[in-house]
Structure 1
Amino acid sequence: MSTSAEPRGGVRNSDRSLARAIQRVTAEPLGVYQSAVVRIGVSATYLLFLLRELPNRHEMYGPDGPWRWDMARELVAGNDAFTVLMWSDSMFWFESVYGLTLISAALLMLGWRTRVTSVVFMAGVLSLQNRSIFMGDGGDNVIHLMAIYLVLTRCARVWSLDARRAARDAAHRAAGHGPSRDVVGPALWAVSGTVLLPAMVMDGLGGTWWLRTLLCVLWLGNGLWWALRRYAPDRELRTLLDVLANLAHNAALAVIMAEVCLIYATAGWYKIQGSRWQDGTALYYPLKLDYFTPWPALSGLLASSALAVMVLTYATVMVQVAFPFTLFNRRVKNVLLVVMIGEHAGIAVLLGLPFFSMAMIAADAVFLPTGFLLWLGGRATLGRQRLVSRAGGGARVPGQRRTDDGDQEPLGHGRDGGHTLVG
């Protein structure tokens, strides 16, 4: 009797564990703070890059570049790359696409209507990068991938203008006033449809079939979501859509994590095969190249120490190879995460690659502990309150609590952030 009862109990326990896992994955989006940091980091990186290259935009991606428009069109016809810059070779069209990409990066960083701005940001990133594929570095590849993944995440649940709007709407409904009227969301949905549908009919989107399908599904899904949440009395159908959105978010977040591990694993194992990395001199040679020495005195000082060069070279390889395996131990993972972020900061300063480093740090942020992010958000909120208090000339009375929401939780916290149409 005892031997037959044990397997049944084990089966029941495994069923309960599986049920809890399914419930957790479908009931809510996981890693909302991590996805928000990735959103802010990726969009801020590309925003700063576009602003820095503003004087050089015509030579890099525009009609004045060495990679001419007709050459880019021939390449795109062969590899099915997505870029709206192939719709026209006029200067006005290029300036419009560049400006819209820049604006969408700023809005995505702030978390305004992320359902639309994330798609526009993705389209802008792909359009500029696929227009001149020989421009940029590894950081552009990271931005390229993260821009696609962010479209599928609910990255505006916290630390966003969408979360603030959702919190106000929830308070409005709690007061018995019913759902607040949203005009901006349907207007953005209609405008995006007037661009998407003709482009689909005239086969002007280019790109692979899955990207075209993704754009159509996102557009139709956002319209259906908004209509059901506002007019449909059936809560079960709305719950089903919410579950699907949670699954897409959690799957995209898992892909981001896997992508970061793959980047470090492949980089580390390829380095092991290089003779310069094996003898510990790989770091020495970039420190002697004028292109990678924004601070020649600092680079020369580091290159003059053979011990420092060898230690940093071997440490880089060991950290990159070991990082994917440290995910099974949280403390070791956090230590190596700090080391890698410090490594990227050093690359930004020593080798003059700030945007590559910012892109990698933004991707690394998906592994940051939630407790640390909550502490960081609380410090940012406290600093903002002090700044507003000083600017307004008001002083806080000792022992008296503030009544604004920022005193209770990080800025822009809200459970319903990003649920409304294109929000």
Structure 2
Amino acid sequence: MRASVRASAARALAKISGRALGPYQSAVVRIGFAGTWLFFLLREFPHRAELYGPDGPWSWALAERLIASNGAFTVLMWSDSTLWFEIVYGISVLASAGLLLGWRTRATSVVFMIGVLALQNRSVFMGDGGDNVIHLMAIYLVLTRCARVWSLDARRARLRGSASAGAAGPVLWAVLGGVFAYGAATGRFGAGWLAAFAALWVVCGLWWLVDRYEPDGEGRALLDVLANLLHNAGMLVIMAEVCLIYATAGWYKIQGSRWQDGTALYYPLGLDYFTPWPGLSGLVASSGTVVMLLSYGTVAVQVAFPFTLFNRRIKNVLLAVMMLEHAGIAVLLGLPFFSMAMIAADAVFLPTGFLVWLGARAAVLRPGRGPAAEPRAAGRTAEPAAGPAPEPAADPATEPRPVPAEG
């Protein structure tokens, strides 16, 4: 009995340390959140100064007082210069595009996180709920190996056979190191962020040295194990965060009288802010049955979803319902970026078989490519998250259960 328990524990440890699980799920989450933030920044580009810059109602002095009290991190508070704001905003756009494409993801994920924190912590009242999800996921993505498939890093590793080919990576990290050194020397970082950024820079520098001079040695194997553990822990946190969001949202709704009597949806449909299509909103609000079904259905789905993770088929059905619900919110209530953020978060639970099939179909649509061109991720990528990718099961029936160790 003890021998079987030890053997099971050894197999489990080998599984979570031997490879980064859920490569397709982490890639979808990366693409989803980077794309959501990129589209938001581009859409609000004409209004950027009013939202996060010097022309906003939340002035630089007010932001400075708030950040002094809560200790939030934002590089926008390093200077009240308009030029500095434009530089940070532009870099945030570029980092979002780089993360979306999976280019030098090890560095761009860090810059993406800094950009998200810089803008959101500068003006805390700008957002619709989806910004909170992006805020959290931007931090979690730094921990994951999210560019092993569907990325320029994976493509470069496959074509060149080397994860660290090219000089762009070292140059990018040298620039980031210079910025970090300036921030550290001028006391711009709190103790926690100083330690976090120092650890990131040192570990990535060590990774580059080992990958360059000892790519097949014990040092590289040790770093792979540590990166796999960190990735799998990060995926677990992302999944737990999504479950927590739905569980708390559902249980708080249950306590509201308007949700209990099934009329909660009726009221936002009468507000100008939430009616981009007044005719459609009026049509939905005119039917008490539809309003009641949508109100009760929302609560039921949100409360039930965390418990459906123990049954793959029910989970997949409820997952599709939730994504359709968020698509409806985007159209009916005019909250596209909130819906995009939530759909991107939900994507962490998508079945591996479905994602493999989706990637194959996308490969067919690309000019000059066919199903055979779908990368198998046999080589290492430019991420610390690089390494041999597992062969996913093409049959959805063999898709592993939605736990971090299975993707």
Same fold (TM over 0.5): yes
Superimposed CA distance per residue, residues 129-183 of structure 1 (whole angstroms, 9 cap, x where no aligned partner): 000001112100000000000001000000000001111232xx7xxxxx97531
Equivalent runs, 1:342-381 vs 2, <5 Å:
342-381=324-363
Q: CA RMSD in A?
A: 1.8
Match of 2:184 among 200, 203, 206: 200
Q: Which amino acid is the alignment partner of residue 255 of structure 2?
A: Q
Aligned residues of 2:144 and 2:385 also touching (Cα < 8 A)? no
Residue number in structure 2 paired with 1:15:
6
Superimposed CA distance per residue, residues 217-238 of structure 1 (whole angstroms, 9 cap, x where no aligned partner): 1111111011011113771121
Asked if 1:74 is matched to 2:65, the reply is yes
Asked if 1:217 is matched to 2:181, the reply is no
In structure 1, C-alpha distance between the alignment counterparts of 2:216 and 2:304, rounded to whole Å:
50
In structure 2, C-alpha distance between the alignment counterparts of 1:37 and 1:164, rounded to whole Å:
16
How far the C-alpha of 1:205 sits from its partner, in A, is: 2.8
Match of 2:173 among 175, 182, 189: 189
Match of 1:295 among 257, 271, 277: 277
Aligned residues of 2:145 and 2:384 also touching (Cα < 8 A)? no
Equivalent runs, 1:263-412 vs 2, <5 Å:
263-384=245-366, 388-389=367-368, 407-411=371-375
Q: Which amino acid is the alignment partner of residue 408 of structure 1?
A: A
Helix, strand or coil at the partner of 1:408: helix
Superimposed CA distance per residue, residues 350-392 of structure 1 (whole angstroms, 9 cap, x where no aligned partner): 00000000000000000000000001001100011xxx25xxx
* CA 210–408 in structure 1, closer or farther in 2 if over 3 Å, else same: farther
Helix, strand or coil at the partner of 2:130: helix
Residue number in structure 2 paired with 1:230:
212
In structure 2, C-alpha distance between the alignment counterparts of 1:422 and 1:411, rounded to whole Å:
14
Residue number in structure 2 paired with 1:401:
none
Superimposed CA distance per residue, residues 324-345 of structure 1 (whole angstroms, 9 cap, x where no aligned partner): 0000000000000000000000
Residue number in structure 2 paired with 1:110:
101
Aligned residues of 1:39 and 1:155 also touching (Cα < 8 A)? yes
Superimposed CA distance per residue, residues 87-146 of structure 1 (whole angstroms, 9 cap, x where no aligned partner): 111110000000000110011000000011000000000000000001112100000000
* CA 419–169 in structure 1, closer or farther in 2 if over 3 Å, else same: farther
In structure 2, C-alpha distance between the alignment counterparts of 1:91 and 1:33, rounded to whole Å:
40
Q: Which amino acid is the alignment partner of residue 37 of structure 2?
A: Y
Asked if 1:85 is matched to 2:76, the reply is yes
Structure 2 length-normalised TM: 0.92
In structure 1, C-alpha distance between the alignment counterparts of 2:226 and 2:365, rounded to whole Å:
37
Helix, strand or coil at the partner of 1:55: helix
Asked if 1:25 is matched to 2:31, the reply is no
Superimposed CA distance per residue, residues 369-417 of structure 1 (whole angstroms, 9 cap, x where no aligned partner): 0000001001100011xxx25xxxxxxxxxxxxxx7x542525844412
* CA 38–163 in structure 1, closer or farther in 2 if over 3 Å, else same: same
Residue number in structure 2 paired with 1:394:
none
Aligned residues of 2:157 and 2:381 also touching (Cα < 8 A)? yes
In structure 1, C-alpha distance between the alignment counterparts of 2:150 and 2:376, rounded to whole Å:
4
In structure 2, C-alpha distance between the alignment counterparts of 1:233 and 1:267, rounded to whole Å:
47
Gaps of 5+ in 2: 388-407
Superimposed CA distance per residue, residues 277-314 of structure 1 (whole angstroms, 9 cap, x where no aligned partner): 00000000011111100011111111111011101100
In structure 2, C-alpha distance between the alignment counterparts of 1:196 and 1:222, rounded to whole Å:
14
Aligned residues of 2:210 and 2:220 also touching (Cα < 8 A)? yes
Aligned residues of 1:60 and 1:135 also touching (Cα < 8 A)? yes
In structure 2, C-alpha distance between the alignment counterparts of 1:381 and 1:252, rounded to whole Å:
28
How far the C-alpha of 1:12 sits from its partner, in A, is: 1.4
Aligned residues of 1:42 and 1:143 also touching (Cα < 8 A)? yes
The structure with the largest alpha-carbon Rg is 1
Asked if 1:261 is matched to 2:252, the reply is no
Asked if 1:416 is matched to 2:380, the reply is yes
In structure 1, C-alpha distance between the alignment counterparts of 2:142 and 2:321, rounded to whole Å:
29
Gaps of 5+ in 1: 1-9, 174-178, 390-403
Q: Which amino acid is the alignment partner of residue 141 of structure 1?
A: N
How far the C-alpha of 1:201 sits from its partner, in A, is: 2.1
* CA 212–422 in structure 1, closer or farther in 2 if over 3 Å, else same: farther
Helix, strand or coil at the partner of 1:283: helix
Q: Which amino acid is the alignment partner of residue 284 of structure 2?
A: L
Residue number in structure 2 paired with 1:149:
140
In structure 2, C-alpha distance between the alignment counterparts of 1:141 and 1:120, rounded to whole Å:
18
Superimposed CA distance per residue, residues 23-49 of structure 1 (whole angstroms, 9 cap, x where no aligned partner): 000000000000000000000000000
Residue number in structure 2 paired with 1:3:
none
Q: Which amino acid is the alignment partner of residue 240 of structure 1?
A: L
